[in-house]
Amino acid sequence: MAFPKNFLWGGAVAANQCEGAYQEDGKGWSTQDVTPRGIVGPRTEEPTPDNMKLVGIDFYHRYQEDIKLFAEMGFKVFRTSIAWSRIFPKGDEEEPNEKGLKFYDDLFDECLRYGIEPLVTISHYETPLYLSKTYDGWVNRKMIGFYEKYVRAIFARYGKKVKYWLTFNEINSVLHQPFLSGGIFTEKEKLSPQDLYQAVHHEFVASALATKIAHEMMPEAKVGCMILSMPTYPLSPSPDDVIKVMESVHKNDFFGDVHVRGYYPGYMKRYFRENGIRIRMEPGDEEILKHTVDFVSFSYYMSICDTADPAKQIRGQGNLMGGVPNPYLEASEWGWQIDPQGLRYVLNYYWDRYQKPLFIVENGLGAVDVPVERADGTKTVEDDYRIDYLQKHLLQVEEAIEDGVDVMGYTSWGCIDLVSASTAELKKRYGFIYVDRNDDGTGTLERYRKKSFYWYKDVIATNGEKLHE
């Protein structure tokens, strides 16, 4: 069998999409609390009742029940994030909020009780709103200091409980979604490329500094970067299309390259020169960047195409990051194209490029699930479409391992239903566990196991052999 014995099978969530309790126990507001329509919609002045994330799936009060279900599936690892504004409600306080710290103590203890390793994202699209409004998020260099204080607080507290850390979720998404990804309050249309890439630089320095601090405070810990992977294919064999793809891929590779190699690549220096962008490097920045990550993690949902032909640059419905639809691929209900082989391709691509262990920390299918009642009165969802999606993708992971790629683990996105990041709706479900809550706010929050729950349990129990049935 291709999957190694120590392969980390599990699932992934983000604090802002599942916890709820948006201002309980001293938590401050985050950027998520004012985006009731998710990435795609406008923001509000204050949290509004139509924002599904304010309650989420009430994981804050129900995590014990949920982790027990993850343990039943046999999870080896559970990826979640720490809500920054639970620890530092405004973000620039001197002292952390003890009640916030206590919650994650209890959560990680619960995971460890079942032998589940926490994989923790330090910043997952949940910048404290105060930092966003007051400092314009990562445009401001002061953010590095606030982030450092935050990471020192959580490393000191959880260093003995958490072995695996990710510094920023989908760090490259800041180019496309500056508010949600980088807490940048300036409207995207008014944000200059200079300010945007300066913000990226501040995040790089903060990420490398966190990696340095982690290795000092927790010598056994492993720190990874996290990239939104979206393999890009030329729409045609035209050399113009191939070069266009190379240039667009460079924009994403930039983020992995700096994290793994510890310096700015030549292709970005050229881009900056030609676009009048001058990155303000402070003394010591270049040295800090040399503190590189231990592994590379990424999300994978879809691939896209690109072309140099302006007439063919038609953006796909589901492609939040841009891109031209691939005529050879089918799409989900939300227009996200389904490309299992793209996952094998990207695993090989990153392995060839970085020679660092890889971790697939998000992959899954968002779909409308229809609950059905069994003969014994219990409920389930017959989600064969999800099983089919995951099976095809996991078989490609196996192929990549056979290719010689070092893959640490796989955490399926939204292992329990949660509020979607892109549209902030619950009807777009990803989980193995159904949560009875609807977009109009109705529902009992009851949990029940979908058909895919038992399938994934068998996949983990057989270390992937189930995939060949």
Residues with a known catalytic role: 170, 362
Structure-block tokens of residue 335? 């227009």
* Alpha-carbon distance values, 433 to 87, 125, 417, 457 (Å): 28, 23, 6, 12
Alpha-carbon span 252 to 250, nearest angstrom: 5
Cα separation of 234 and 314, whole Å? 14
Structure tokens given for 255: 């983020």
**First-to-last CA distance in the chain?**
14
Tabulate helix, strand, coil % of the chain (nearest 5): 45, 15, 40
Is residue 429 within 8 A of residue 445, CB to CB? The reply is: no
Query: What distance in Å separates the CA atoms of residue 465 and residue 461, rounded to the nearest whole number?
Result: 9
The C-alpha atoms of residue 233 and residue 85 are separated, in whole angstroms, by 39
The total of other beta-carbon atoms located within 10 Å of residue 404's CB is: 9
Q: Is the torsion defined by CA of 22, 419, 464, 74 positive or negative?
A: positive
Tokens of 305: 């195409």
Instruction: Provide CB contacts within 8 A for 364, sequence distance 6+.
Output: 301, 386, 389, 390, 412, 413, 414, 430
Q: Which residues on adjacent β-strands are paired with residue 77?
A: 10, 117
Q: Tell me, what amino acid is at 384?
A: D
The answer to whether 9 and 74 have CB atoms below 8 angstroms apart is yes
DSSP 190: G
Strand runs labelled E in 273-418: 295-300, 304-306, 358-362, 371-373, 379-381, 407-413
- SS3 per-residue string spanning 38-68: HHHCCCCCCCCCCCHHHCCCCHHHHHHHHHH
For 5, counting Cβ atoms within 10 Å of its Cβ (0-12 exposed, 13-18 middle, 19+ buried), the class is exposed
Residue 372 and residue 449 in contact, taking contact as beta carbons nearer than 8 Å: no
Q: Could you tell me whether strands 295-300 and 433-435 are parallel, antiparallel, or unpaired per DSSP bridges?
A: unpaired
Tell me, what DSSP letter sits at residue 337?
A: B
